[in-house]
Amino acid sequence: MARTQKYGIKFPIKMETKKTLLDLNTTRADEVKSQLIHLIFTPEGEKLRDPLFGTNLIKYLFNTNDSTTWDDVVFEVKEKVKKFIPNCEVEEVTTNVIGDDNEGLEVKIRYSVREKDGSTHYYELTQRI
């Protein structure tokens, strides 16, 4: 019987299977997506043994909605991904204000994943805040 390769805990954390306590990623692409979500939504300084892990995106929450703020957000995301997820490269980050009263934000991150065989695959992660 062939064993399925597992690539770490799936994020956001769910407990859908009965065989393991937590769901695990079964592909490298899923692993990178989980790592990306985990990195972006963890405030810097919150991880006990690695205080530099995470982002400071929460500090931009009440900044003005202008190109300078969004340039800072894009720069921070790209730098943190480069440091903490070495087999992932952020290609593009776009932001769109959503809602009738501009109360929401949609962030799209286009990224590439380098596989163990040297090939590169492209993905997109969309998150509404």
Annotate 44-65 with three-state secondary structure: CCCCCCCCCCCECHHHHCCCCC
Global pTM reads 0.77
- Letter for the amino acid at 1? M
Say if CB 76 and CB 68 are below 8 A apart.
no
pLDDT in tens, 11-67: 666 666 666 677 777 888 888 998 998 898 899 999 889 999 998 887 877 777 777
Q: Which domains does the chain have, with CATH numbers?
A: 28-128 (3.10.450.40)
